[in-house]
């Protein structure tokens, strides 16, 4: 007589996925939940991360030195990973999930949406209110005017000598963020949106023509690439996360201090990332 062995289903999600879910911000009080999952492309333990009220799910697989992500949407079952993060630290993976994994999931979800124009307008305001509620919980006073661009809405607030504006346009679920304030504070704020430091700050700055540009580039090149444009403004950032532009100084030859005014724009910022950063941006 022969017997056939059967695999015992995994009862709980891998520990790394549960730790990641705990580090992601709630939406309207709804936490992320992790459940065990069998990914098509690997035999390694995987997890499915979901959040009540949110379309789509994240499939997560941990490897020895990296973490793979894929998104599961209505009518879309992932057969290969969509993104890979070169980290297995729960803190590092959570940071990168907020910076560029969740915005990509939101983009993919929006691409399959059949919402009408009025529904899209309502959703923009709902998303901005998620950010605004998080900011107001930490003492910031916000307002939400109609945007200058067609089909856009804006969330504005001031804190710690800084002025912020978050804009959503059309059905795009990622935000444009305007940051204006003294140089030292803007440098500190932009750092929150960039990858963890990976370069030496002692890089040549001969390609940067203005004093303010050289100061800002010396700081930002610890985290990402920086280039100067013909108008003496700076571009920074890469495809794996938010990218941006810093306006040229009014006087390129002027002495630069910590209090020198700087205006910067960030593009491709996730809603969840801004909710997560609310305690820092509200003070």
Per-residue model confidence as pLDDT tens digits over 77-111 = 999 999 999 888 889 999 999 999 999 999 999 98
- Give the confidence band of 6 by pLDDT, cuts at 50, 70, 90: very low
pLDDT digits (tens, 9 = 90+) for 130-174: 999 999 999 999 999 989 998 999 999 999 999 999 999 999 999
pLDDT digits (tens, 9 = 90+) for 56-68: 999 999 998 999 9
In this predicted structure, what is the pLDDT of residue 9? 45
* Residue 110 tokens, joined: 């929006």
Predicted structure pTM score: 0.91
Q: How far apart are CA 198 and CA 267, in angstroms?
A: 21
In this predicted structure, what is the pLDDT of residue 238? 85
In this predicted structure, what is the pLDDT of residue 117? 79
Q: How far apart are CA 178 and CA 76, in angstroms?
A: 35
Residues paired with residue 234 on neighbouring β-strands, in sequence order:
228, 246
- Give the confidence band of 243 by pLDDT, cuts at 50, 70, 90: very high
Give the residue carrying structure tokens 């002025």: 163
Closest CA to 172 of 98, 271, 265: 271
Closest CA to 242 of 209, 276, 199, 193: 193
In this predicted structure, what is the pLDDT of residue 2? 40
Q: How far apart are CA 241 and CA 244, in angstroms?
A: 10
In this predicted structure, what is the pLDDT of residue 205? 73
Q: In what order do the strands lie in the sheet with 32-37?
A: 32-37, 46-51, 57-62, 67-72, 83-85
Mean per-residue pLDDT over the chain, rounded: 90
Of the chain, the percentage scoring pLDDT greater than 90 comes to 73
pLDDT digits (tens, 9 = 90+) for 8-34: 345 688 999 999 999 999 998 999 999
Q: How far apart are CA 162 and CA 242, in angstroms?
A: 20
Quick check: 4 pLDDT over 50? no
Range in 36-40, 145-149, 176-180 with the lowest mean pLDDT? 145-149
């Amino acid at each position: 007589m022969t017997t056939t062995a059967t695999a015992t289903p995994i009862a709980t999600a891998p520990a790394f996925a549960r730790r990641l879910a705990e580090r992601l911000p709630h939406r309207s009080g709804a936490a992320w939940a992790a459940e065990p999952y069998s990914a098509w492309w690997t035999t390694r333990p995987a997890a499915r991360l979901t959040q009540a009220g949110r379309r789509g799910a994240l499939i997560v697989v941990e490897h020895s030195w990296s973490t793979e992500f894929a998104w599961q949407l209505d009518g879309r079952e992932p057969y290969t990973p969509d993104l890979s993060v070169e980290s297995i630290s729960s803190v590092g993976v959570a940071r990168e999930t907020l910076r560029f994994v969740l915005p990509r999931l939101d983009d993919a979800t929006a691409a399959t949406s059949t919402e009408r124009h009025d529904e899209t307008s309502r959703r923009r305001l709902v998303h901005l209110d998620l950010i605004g509620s998080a900011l107001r919980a930490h003492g910031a006073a916000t307002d939400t005017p109609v945007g200058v661009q067609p089909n856009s809405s804006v969330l504005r607030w001031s804190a710690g000598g800084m002025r912020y504006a978050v804009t959503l346009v059309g059905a795009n679920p990622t935000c444009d963020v305007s940051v204006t304030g003294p140089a030292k504070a803007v440098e500190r704020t932009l750092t929150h949106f960039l990858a963890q430091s990976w370069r030496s700050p002692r890089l040549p700055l001969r390609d940067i023509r203005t004093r303010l540009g050289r100061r800002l580039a010396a700081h930002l090149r610890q985290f990402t690439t920086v280039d100067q444009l013909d108008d003496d403004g700076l571009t920074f950032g890469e495809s794996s996360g938010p990218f941006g532009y810093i306006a040229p100084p009014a006087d390129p030859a002027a002495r630069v201090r910590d209090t020198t005014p700087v205006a910067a724009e960030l593009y491709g910022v996730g809603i969840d990332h801004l909710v997560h950063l609310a305690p820092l941006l509200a003070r």
